[in-house]
Amino acid sequence: MDTPTPPAAPRPLRRDAELNRQRVLVAAKEVFAERGLEATLDEIAKHAGLGVGTVYRRFPNKEALIDALFEEGFAQILELTERALAEADAWAGLVFLLTRMAEVQAADFGLRDVMLSETYGRDRIAQMRDRIKPMMEQLVARAQEQGLLRADFRATDIMAVQLMISATVEFTHGVRDGGWRRYVPMLLDGLIARRDGVTELAEPELDDDDLHSAMQSWPRYRRGSAPVESRRQQDL
C-alpha cells in the first residue's frame, strides 16, 4: 500500500504580504479600540491606507480578523484573573480584577465588545471562559470564607457586574476620562459583606452639561429612536 503523501506545509507570506497583514492588524486594533466591533473592514482598510481587497486577501471576514487580533487581549484577561486569585486577601483580588477589567474595557472598546459578544470570536471566548470559570469560583469562595464578600454572590454574577461596569464605561466615554471610576466603588460597596462606612468617591459627579453630552454621544442613544422633540417636529 502506498504511503499517503503528507499535506504540504503552508508557504510563508512574502515580505510585502506580511507587512500588509501587520498594517491591517495595527489599523484594526486602533479602529476597534475607538469604535468597537461596529467598524467595518472597509473602514479598517482606509485607516491602514490599503485597498479593501488587500484586507480580504489576508482576512476573508471580520471573524477571522478579530480572532487573530485579540489573542493577546485574551491572554491579558487570563493573566489578570490569575493575579487576582494569587492575592492573599481575596476581596482585594476581586476589587483588583473588576477595576483592571474596567480599565481594559475603557482602553479598548473592541476587546470589550469581543469579551461580551456571542457573535465574534465565539470559540476563543468559550475557551477563555472555560479556563477562567474555576478561578473565578475559587476567588469568590475564598472571599466569602474570609467574610468579606456577601454570601449570596456567585461567580456567575461577575459577568453581570462586568456588564454594569461596561455600560458606565461606554456612557462616560468621551465626556470625562475615568468618569466610570466614580461608579465602581458604589457597585463594590453593594458586594462587600461588612464595612465601617461607604467608600469615599475620588471621582466627582457628572454635572448637567456632562450628562447631556454623554447622552448625545452614547452609542445606544444614537442607535435608538429620534429624540422626542425631533419626532414631534416630524409629526407637525
pLDDT tens profile 10-31: 454 466 778 888 888 888 888 8
pTM, whole model, 2 decimals?
Answer: 0.69
Candidates 3.40.50, 1.10.357, 2.30.30, 3.30.1370; CATH matching 71-223:
1.10.357
Residue range 15-69, CATH number:
1.10.10.60
Mean pLDDT of 202-229: 68
Structure confidence at residue 157 as a pLDDT band (50, 70, 90): very high
Mean pLDDT of 166-182: 85
For the chain, the structural domain boundaries read: 15-69, 71-223
* Common-topology check for domains 15-69 and 71-223: no
Please state, rounded to an integer, the average pLDDT across all residues of the chain: 81
Q: What local confidence, expressed as pLDDT, does residue 209 receive?
A: 85
For residue range 122-154, list pLDDT tens digits in order: 677 777 888 899 999 999 999 999 999 999 999
State the Cα torsion 202-205-210-211 to the nearest 10°: 130
